[in-house]
Structure formats: structure tokens, C-alpha cells
Structure 1
């Protein structure tokens, strides 16, 4: 632990420069900077308060159903939700829940965490997936505030890195009050790193749980009439370095008559101008969602908004899952599978390796490496029977994913917050 604190102290000037650079580039607001330093505006609500932390959009979207259940079961419960990106904060604010406050997460420096805890006085901390921050964990535990982790992910490489710091591991992992891993290998590694066996809950993948297709709001007529799923490709949560390949692959397939429309939904909407330039360079007409433009007959629809990904999944017969053509680890395939879309992905899927292996084995997904691969896949999937077969295989492969264990998660929250109503 001493090594970690010394390292953070030495890195403080670099962190300050990083924050300033983000601010100058318009990627950080003054409000966000203040919150990262443990400050900002706002006052603690009365009653119990849960600090919920998730890295970004995917993690927080995966627990929206849980947040909704918590505030319904326990009306006096407040939640302060922290995240690492401005887009994720906007996503949470878009939920429109009066009991939920969204903020940028404090840096994991002792002084920043102390300012945050002192201001908000959370009764418990719930972290999602691989967001394991030593100072947040240990400073909450030192105040006798339970720390829980849901959907914990621990790769082999991360486990080896943590194991190089045995004293830190013993203190941090030993301080966790409850941990539910997202797969058996993560569970085994977490136990080896120091999580006490009695504090390990059931294996649960939060992203395997989501709204049924019939439970979401009806599609707007302008979108429902503009897109025919059998002729539409969705590129979901794309990262820099992927859009060009997607556009080129789509253009080839469109020229051959295999697909008509592309919905391009970048991971970060702030990349709008960059992506618009790429679309123009590809010689394709387009409409931009954030500009209020209707799709019309444009072959490309730039879906650069937050909180609408479920809409785009319902409009596409084929989905390319982003973050996988570049080494970003990939994003979840659960949503496109749930909405009946055939799935394409690149080779970089370390974040969900077991899930993608199951999909690939079952014929529920197809690996593409570049524009040519995307074009070839779209040619193959222009056949309705083949596309339906892949979508059905994806749903079947993911039906057995460990998405249960909800009772144990709510029981852990009820104990941590001393609110039995959360169990019901």
C-alpha cells in the first residue's frame, strides 16, 4: 500500500497536466475537473446513501434495472453514481431518477477520496466489474463502510499484475465485504488474490441481464419507417480506428446490393466531427442524429447521441460490435443478441472472451478483421435464412449465461445499507 501511495504522489504533477490538457481540448468541463478532485457542488440527501461506481456507459447501463429496483423498494435510499467519462455521467443524468445524483469519480488519491467521502458520507460503496481502486476501497473500509463488487472481472494478466503487490492485495481484497464475479475464472483468481471465501457470492454477469425486447418503448415512426432491419447494419460503440473500416466494408457491400443502410453509433459522441469527415471521405451521404436530422434516404445515419443504443439494436439485422477491431477489449454482445441481430466482431474481445468464444462455437457470431471481412460477412448475411440462423444461435448460446443470482446481490445490498426492504 505504501508503494501505491508513493507512486500516486509522484504521478500527481502528470495527472494535473493530463487534466489541464483535457480541459483545453474541450474533453473535460470545469465541473468535471472539480469533481475529479473530490469537490464540486451538491449536498448529501437525507437517509442512507449508496456510492455506486462504474467506469462508463456499458457498466452503468447494465445496472440500470437494479438501480430502478432499489429506488422503488427503498424510497428513502439515495444513490451517488460516479463514472470515468462525461458521456457516462450524461447517460445517468438522462435516467431522470430524483434519488440518483451523477458525478465524475474522484481521483484515487487519498486527498481526493477523503474530500469526496467527507462531503457525501456514503454508507456503502458498490463497484462494477474491474473498477478496483485501492484508496477508495481501503478508505471506505477504514470507516466501517462496506465495499461490494458486482460482476467482478479479473483477467489472467490483471491477476498477475496485482499479485506483484502482495501487501496491497492482502489489504485491498481482504477488505471487500462481498464480491460477485462475472465468470468462474475471475472468481478463482479473486479468491487467490485475497477475497475471503465467505464473501464470494454467486457468479453473475450483469450484462446478461437486461430489458426484454417487448419491455422497451415503441420505436418512433420516423425511424421505424426509415430502416428495414434486413437491409441495415449497425456499427455499435465504435472506437477510433474502426469507423473507416466499417464505412469501407459497408460501401463495398452496398455497391453489391447486400445492404442498404448503416447506423454508425460511436462509443463517444464527441467524435462527431471526426466521423463526419470520414463519411464524407468515403463518398457517402449521411444524416446526423444530434443535429435533429431525419434519416431520410441517406445511406449512413450517424447516431451520435446517448442512451439510445437499444433503439439502434432494434433497427438492425446485423450488428458489428465495436472496440474489437482495435485493442480496446470489445463490448458486450448481449444486447444485439437479445434483440435478434446477427453479430460481427473483431479479434480483440478480451473483456468478454468467454462469451465470444461461446458465440463463435455456436455459430452465433462471426469474426471480421478488416473492411474486406465486413463486406464478405454482409454478403453472406444478406441471405435471410443465414441471418436468422446466426441470430437464433446467438440467443441460444447466451441463454445459459450466468445472469441470475439477483437475490444474493440484493441481499448483500440490504445488509450493507441496513435496509431489509431491498431484499423483496
Structure 2
């Protein structure tokens, strides 16, 4: 524990120093658990980012219905995650640093009765100091992370024995949890929370003029992928002249650079953030929180982050919309679902602009709907949100007597 406390203290000093230099006093207060807290007992749920938080939305909604007496306070490592939780009407703060005295303050201020952590967010002081049960949803424990924990001696085993319930996101993670010391009785069902994604209705209208059969989406692209996408689009249009492209960069601030790349290739461009009419060769979706609009418009989806060293983004969301899936070789962030897609021949792998253009051509016509239906069936979860919530609720403290 001494080594962990030393390292987390150094990390905390860096985080606080950076916030102080930026004069970001609200964030500084959150990191030190000095922000205002709502009265009454709470369930504390922590997610690293807005992506993890979004995957937990069905569980959060079910928990609020099942236990209205136990309000949820959300913490995230990112400001975007905090804003997302607040948009759902939940109390949310930046995550407190995992220093023992900061953790104690947060637990006391929010009267925390139980703690739920998402995926790999296993923080020792939160686990050891929480007065109630500690639960893990969508737990992820890679071989590399398991090896890293060995640097801290028996700390990991001590933490795992404190966990009441763990729902791992894949069989490999559950096996590694058990090997590292998780009691058999604490092993819950294997469910990747991202597989619970349900297509969402959006309040803002989708841009008009897109034929889903003749539209493809490059979703969450990173620097280095946009040029490949644009070159593939040019090549694919030679065989399918009416093909439209929606390009949604992972980081919208890159929209101007992407527009320049497209215009240099003779392609016309419209940007969503500027309210420009969508009648262009390339429609740049440079906004946040609107991906459901674009999944619904595109029958073919290239999953970004798979042609670079980013590890790839989720295949669950486009599959939920019945889109035909295309991806590059870097799939390490979602190995399990991509392995299932590969075994079922329910997605097409590509490596460059030429093979991406060929995949787009292969998925034109009736092949698009057939491949999309196969991907949707392949990634359908084994357990639904209600089943998972019922298992989780059993571990929560009982409601106070009137």
C-alpha cells in the first residue's frame, strides 16, 4: 500500500498543480471533494469518461426506477462525462483524487452507502473505505493490467476480496479476476455494457436528403484516417456515383483540417456545426452527442480508430442500427465483440483506401442490409439491462424504514 500511496500522491500533485496553473477552481474543488453535496444517502457511481457513462445509461435508468430512495451521484474523470450525467438530471462531479483523506471527505459529504465502479476503475481508497458494498459493472482486467498490479504486492488480492459483486465484460476478464483473488460468490454475469445500447430518439431533426442505401458513415475518425476515408470515397463513387459520405471526427475541432483535405480532392463540404445545407459530397458531423442521428442515416459504417494506433471504437452502436460494419486492423479496445463479428463473418476488415473502397462496393445493394442484420444479431447481448440491474440491486443496502 505504501508504494501505491506514494505514486498516487505524485499523480495528485501533478493534477492539482495543472488545475491551479489554469485557475480552474471549480475543477480543483471537485478533485479535492470540496464541492457542494446534496443531502441524504447516495449511491456513488464512477465512470472514467462519457463513453463508459453512456454505456451504463440503461442500468442507471433502471436503478433510478428500482431505488428512488437512493439517489445516484456520478463522478467522471472528464468534464464531458460530468456534463453528460448532468444532462440526465443526475448529480455529477469530477472524480475526487484517490487520496485517503479526499476519499473520506467525499464519502462523508455525499453519505455514500454503496459504490459502483465501471470497467477498470478500481481505486484502492474508494474500495477499502466505502462503508457499504463495492460493485463492478462491465469489469475489464487485461493481462497487462493484471501484471501491473503485481508491483503492489498483495494489494490487488486485498481489493478483490472487498468486492461484493463483479460483472465482467468478457470471459477472459472474469477468469483473471478469479485468478487474482476474487471470491467465486462475487462473480456475476459476463456482460459488456456497451452491448446494452439501444437506438435513441433525438430531439433535433436529422439533416434531410440522405438515402440510407447510398450513404456511408466514417464514425469517430482520428488524425491519419480522414485522408484514407476521403480517398476511398472518391474511388467508391466511380462505381457508385450517388454515394454520400458523413464524416464524424472523434474530435470535432479537427473539422477545418478535414474540410481542407476534402476540398483539396475536389470534394464539396458542408459542416453540421455551421448549419450548412447537407447537399455536399462530404457532410462533416463536427458536433458532440449526435451520433445516433448519423447512425440512422448511414447503411454502411466504417469504425474509426481502427486504422491508427487508437485501438478502435465501439461496434455495438452502429450494429444496433443494423448498419453493415467495416473496420481496420487495430481492434484491441473491443477484442471480444470484433472476434465474434469475425467468426460470424459479420463485418469486413480493411487496411487502406483501396480495400476500404472495395468493401464499400461489396456492401452496396442488398448485401448492405444482410450484413447489417448479421452484425446486429451477432452482437445482441446475452443478458438485458433489467436482468443485470436486478442482480446489482440485491447487493444495495435496504431502503430506510419510514
Give the TM-score normalised by structure 1. 0.85
- Figure out how many residues of one structure are paired with residues of the other and give that number: 401
Aligned pair partner of 2:148 in 161, 164, 172: 161
Aligned pair partner of 2:300 in 318, 335, 343: 318
Query: Are the aligned partners of 1:222 and 1:294 in contact in 2 as well (CA < 8 Å)?
Result: no
Q: Does 1:54 align with 2:61?
A: no
Aligned pair partner of 1:104 in 94, 102, 116: 94
Q: 1:8 aligns to what?
A: 8
Q: 2:271 aligns to what?
A: 288
Aligned pair partner of 1:359 in 341, 346, 349: 341
* CA distance, structure 2, for counterparts of residue 107 and residue 279 of structure 1: 43
SS of equivalent residue, structure 1 residue 417: coil
| Distance 1:250-1:354 versus aligned 2 partners, 3 A rule | same
CA drift of 1:340 comes to: 0.9
Q: 2:248 aligns to what?
A: 265
* CA distance, structure 1, for counterparts of residue 101 and residue 353 of structure 2: 48
| Distance 1:406-1:295 versus aligned 2 partners, 3 A rule | same
Query: Are the aligned partners of 2:136 and 2:165 in contact in 1 as well (CA < 8 Å)?
Result: yes
Q: 1:307 aligns to what?
A: 289
- The 5 Å alignment of 1:2-401 reads 2-19=2-19, 23=22, 30-40=25-35, 42-46=36-40, 48-95=41-88, 97=89, 100-140=90-130, 144-211=131-198, 213=199, 216-217=200-201, 223=207, 225-257=208-240, 260-291=243-274, 293-381=275-363, 383-399=364-380, 401=381
* CA distance, structure 2, for counterparts of residue 309 and residue 206 of structure 1: 18
Query: Are the aligned partners of 1:82 and 1:105 in contact in 2 as well (CA < 8 Å)?
Result: yes
Query: Are the aligned partners of 1:205 and 1:402 in contact in 2 as well (CA < 8 Å)?
Result: no
* CA distance, structure 2, for counterparts of residue 14 and residue 336 of structure 1: 38
Q: Gaps (5+ residues) in structure 1?
A: none
Higher deviation after alignment, 110-119 or 348-357: 110-119
Query: Are the aligned partners of 1:90 and 1:306 in contact in 2 as well (CA < 8 Å)?
Result: no
* CA distance, structure 2, for counterparts of residue 202 and residue 89 of structure 1: 28
* CA distance, structure 1, for counterparts of residue 33 and residue 14 of structure 2: 18
Higher deviation after alignment, 60-69 or 242-251: 242-251
CA drift of 1:311 comes to: 1.7
CA drift of 1:338 comes to: 1.5
SS of equivalent residue, structure 2 residue 329: coil
| Distance 1:253-1:349 versus aligned 2 partners, 3 A rule | same
SS of equivalent residue, structure 1 residue 179: strand
> Superposition RMSD on alpha carbons, in Å?
2.7
Query: Are the aligned partners of 1:344 and 1:367 in contact in 2 as well (CA < 8 Å)?
Result: yes
Query: Are the aligned partners of 2:12 and 2:97 in contact in 1 as well (CA < 8 Å)?
Result: no
Query: Are the aligned partners of 1:91 and 1:306 in contact in 2 as well (CA < 8 Å)?
Result: no
CA drift of 1:298 comes to: 1.8
Q: 1:418 aligns to what?
A: 398
Query: Are the aligned partners of 1:203 and 1:405 in contact in 2 as well (CA < 8 Å)?
Result: no
* CA distance, structure 2, for counterparts of residue 240 and residue 17 of structure 1: 30
Query: Are the aligned partners of 1:287 and 1:301 in contact in 2 as well (CA < 8 Å)?
Result: yes
Higher deviation after alignment, 144-153 or 127-136: 127-136
Q: Deviations over 1:360-400 (max 9, x none)?
A: 1212111222333322222222x21222222122123223x
CA drift of 1:221 comes to: 5.6
SS of equivalent residue, structure 1 residue 415: coil
Query: Are the aligned partners of 1:126 and 1:149 in contact in 2 as well (CA < 8 Å)?
Result: yes
Q: Deviations over 1:210-243 (max 9, x none)?
A: 32x5xx43786652x3211112121222333333
CA drift of 1:271 comes to: 4.3
| Distance 1:200-1:234 versus aligned 2 partners, 3 A rule | same
Q: Deviations over 1:99-157 (max 9, x none)?
A: x11222123233443343333232111111122222222232xxx22211011111222
